[in-house]
Structures are given as structure tokens and as C-alpha cells.
Amino acid sequence: MRRGFTMIEMLLATMLVGVLTTFSVLTFRSVSHGWQVSADYLDKMQRTDYALNQVVSGLRSMYYPHDGSQNEKYGFVLVNKGDGEDPRRSDIIEWSKLGSAIVGTKSDKADSVHRVQVMVLEEGDNDYAEPIQKTGLYARIMRDSALGEERDEDDTDLTFSNEELYQPILVADGITGFNCRVLKKLEDAEAAGAKDNENDKKKFEDEFAESNSVPYKVELTFQIEKPDENFRSQTQRAPMVRIVRIPIHEQSLDGASPPGGEGKDKGKKDKKGSK
């Protein structure tokens, strides 16, 4: 005769099913959370890569007048604020450019010379006309009509110092830090034995005082917003770095050399060679 399960056996089976169900639910939730965190972080990396490409394109389309003189109105400016690990220690850069990079293809500024200022701003920053809503990379854009003019006929400040006039525009959120370093001259790279070697950073500096010209190369480092620390450790966050060669560097040295030329140094070498 076959007997049924005892009460103890039923209780044990019920407990075992409960434990397995709980374990399965916790495992599923952990995997789902990990997938979501990874997807969010990948999305932030893609937005950062997009922002970085915009800044790179903007630097490569830098404008400098071809009139035989140097002009501070069109020079590259670097404001060094720290190591770029967070918004408050992030650098600020500005330059004059042409094209749709950063400003967008539908902007009326894309077809004329304009000046841009790029920086990382923190959510809640109230320094501008409207508070910053999201932490990320922002750009301020100066029209060509205001370029180089400090004040208009009404004595309004037209420079980027006027926080009310140029409201920052969000380029990409999820970026929490920005650091910029410059390789001032081609001769610096040659002295380091690294002409056109973008991996050699020996001569890159955090300051650029020659505001009436543009550097030979610029190193950009963007910090991405931290992922969920319960899922990923902080050490797994890697910055995005890009080194950009500025095509009009030689031209900015004397205002006359065509992009890609050797500037004044080329003339000196030719004279020496003719002796």
C-alpha cells in the first residue's frame, strides 16, 4: 500500500520551493539591474563620444583671419581650473570657428564666423540667466557681429564675462569633468622627439598664455558620470581622451602663412638655406 507525504515532508518541500523562488527572483533582479546600469553607462559613453567629436570638429574648423597680422579677437583661450575630475575643477576653452560643429546645422551662426566657449557645468549652477538643469558639457556662442567688440553703443558688455547675454547650451549630459592641455608649438614636439606622435604627452601644458594665436595640438579629456557604485567600482570608469592638431597653428603665428605651412620659421629656414 502506497502512503502519502507526511506533514513534515510537505513543509520541507514548501520551504525548498520558497528558497529557490526567492533566489531566482533575486538573481533575476540583480541581472536586470546590472543590464540596465551597463546600458545606461554605454549610453553615457556614446553621448560623451558624440560631444567629443563635436569639440574636435569645432577645433579643426577654427578660424583665423588671413591678413598678415596677429589678432587677439581670434586667438585660443584656455582657462585652467584644475584637473578636470569634476565640474568645479574643469577647464574652460574658447576659440573662433566656422561650420556647424557644436552649434548645429540649423543654426544661423553656422555660415558665419562665431566664437564658442566650452565648459562643464553642474546641475543647479545659478551663474547664468537660467539655472543649469543637468550636469554636462555646455557651449556658449558669440555671434560674428559681437566678435572682438567688448561693448556696444548702449555700453552692454559683449564678452563672455556677461553671464546674462550668452546662455549655455547643453551639448551632452552625463559628462562630469573636462581637462584641456596644449602643445604650444611644433618645435616643442620636435624637441621631445615626438613630431606628429600623438601618444607622447611630455610637452603638453595646462596653460596657454599666447591668446593672440592658437596652439599646435590640443589634448581633450572628458570624465564620464560615475556608474552605480553598487554595481561597478569607481576604478572602472575610464576617461575619454583625444588629441587634435590645429590646422591653422602656423597661420596664427604671423597671420599670413597658409594652413599647413611653416609660418615665420619656414621663411627663416629658406633664408638660411639661400646663404
What is the structure's pLDDT at 40? 74
Q: What percent of the chain is modeled with pLDDT above 70?
A: 75
pTM here is 0.75
The torsion angle over the Cα atoms of residues 225, 87, 208 and 169, rounded to 10 degrees, is 90
- Distance (Å, whole) CA 188 – CA 182: 11
Grid cell for residue 42:
554605454
Q: What percent of the chain is modeled with pLDDT above 90?
A: 38
- Distance (Å, whole) CA 101 – CA 110: 8
Q: What Å distances lie between residue 179 and 13, 129, 220, 241, CA to CA?
A: 60, 25, 6, 9
Domain ranges of the chain: 36-259
| CB-CB contact of 140 with 114 (8 Å) | no
| CB-CB contact of 143 with 165 (8 Å) | no
- Distance (Å, whole) CA 206 – CA 192: 17
